[in-house]
C-alpha cells in the first residue's frame, strides 16, 4: 500500500469514527423535559443599523432599537451582548 492510499485510509477511518460518535451521542427527537414556558414573541422594527464612517473627533453616537413583546407572557431580559468591545448596550424599560 503506497503512502497516498494509507493517508486516504486513515482520513476515511477518522471520518467514520467521528460520524459513529456523533450518531451514538445524538439525543432522541423528543424533548425529555418540555419547557414550562411558552415561546416568546419579541419583535423589532429593525435588527440592524449602520452608522457608516464615524470620526473619532465626533465622539459617541447612539441608536435606539425598540423591541415589543407580542406574546401573552411577560418577557424577562437579563443580559444583552454587543458584537465587539468598542460598543455598549443598555436596556431601558417602557417607563424610561
pLDDT in tens, 19-64: 787 777 775 555 555 566 666 688 888 888 888 888 888 878 888 8
Q: Would you state the pLDDT for residue 94?
A: 72
Phi, psi of 88 (to 5 degrees): -140, 155
Phi, psi of 13 (to 5 degrees): -65, -40
Q: Which is higher by pLDDT, 68 or 25?
A: 68
Average the pLDDT over 71-90 and give the result: 84
What does pTM read for this prediction?
0.47
Q: Work out the pLDDT band at 71, boundaries 50, 70, 90.
A: confident
Dist. CA 39–CA 60, nearest whole Å:
36
The sign of the dihedral angle between the CA atoms of 81, 83, 84, 90 is negative
Q: Which residues touch 83 (CB under 8 Å, ≥6 apart)?
A: none
Dist. CA 21–CA 13, nearest whole Å:
12
Q: Would you state the pLDDT for residue 90?
A: 86
Q: Would you state the pLDDT for residue 36?
A: 63
Q: Which is higher by pLDDT, 1 or 89?
A: 89
Amino acid at each position: 500500500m503506497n503512502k497516498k492510499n494509507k493517508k486516504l485510509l486513515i482520513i476515511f477511518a477518522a471520518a467514520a469514527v467521528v460520524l459513529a460518535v456523533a450518531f451514538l451521542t445524538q439525543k432522541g427527537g423528543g424533548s425529555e423535559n418540555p419547557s414550562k414556558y411558552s415561546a416568546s414573541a419579541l419583535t423589532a422594527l429593525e435588527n440592524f443599523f449602520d452608522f457608516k464612517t464615524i470620526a473619532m473627533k465626533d465622539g459617541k453616537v447612539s441608536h435606539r432599537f425598540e423591541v415589543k413583546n407580542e406574546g401573552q407572557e411577560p418577557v424577562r431580559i437579563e443580559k444583552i451582548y454587543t458584537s465587539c468591545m468598542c460598543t455598549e448596550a443598555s436596556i431601558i424599560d417602557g417607563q424610561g
